[in-house]
Amino acid sequence: MTLIAELERRGVEVFTSPMLTIALKRVPELSLEGIQGIIFTSANGVRAFSKASMRRDLPVFAVGERTATVAREAQFIDVESANGDVDSLVQVVMARCIPEAGAFLHPAGSAVAGDLAGQLGAAGFAVRRAEIYESRPATALTGEVQTALADHELDVALFYSPRSASTFVTLVKGVGLEKACESLEVLCLSKAVAEAADPIMWRRVMVAPRPTQDALLETLDERLRKQ
């Protein structure tokens, strides 16, 4: 179930304003020779790879369940979720694989969080990063979000990534609405996301106990119960 569907199921009115736009890059045909598996650190990586290659037979290691779900929907046969962040993904790969079996392909964007290649490299694994898409920051808030923010109709803002949080901060400052955020709570997927949202003042900053959508929603549910 998508995040919006999960929120609406809880009776939450949702306003959306995409902070990033995903653009596929024109890349030569991806070489999978000598590859023992594919590592996906985002759902966007899955979608981009799926358009660049028809291969679905290699084992997939996904950073979290949302990314793993997208991989399964794209018809990948063998998908394992690390249910966490890059660190937990590294631990799963190290527990399941050996360096001698081949390198890993990491389809990624122009901006990458964490040091996946460095951590796996230190354990003897080879990682080939394929930059096949880029995430472009939004240039404006949607009209409905800008109006709702100005009219203090929003209660909570949800951020999944440091870049989406920092983009929101930039856009809010650009239209002079940072003061409106002082009455707004923010719920972040991780401490890194919360740090990116820190340049403006919020009524309260909440961080999910684990970097997963389930944990994010659990934190929101706890807040809703206290209302």
List domains and CATH numbers for the chain.
3-19+138-226 (3.40.50.10090), 21-135 (3.40.50.10090)
Judge contact between 25 and 134, C-beta under 8 A: yes
pLDDT above 70 (res 155): yes
The reported pTM is 0.78
Output the average pLDDT for the chain: 92
CA distance 109 to 25: 9
Q: What element of type H or E holds 153? A: none
Tokens representing 92 are 């799963």
Rounded Cα distance between 211 and 208, Å, is 6
pLDDT for residue 34 is more than 90:
yes
Residue range 68-97, pLDDT digits in tens: 999 999 999 999 999 888 899 999 999 999
215 φ/ψ angles, rounded to the nearest 5 degrees? -70, -35
Element (H, E) at 224: helix 213-226
Tokens of 202: 């919020």
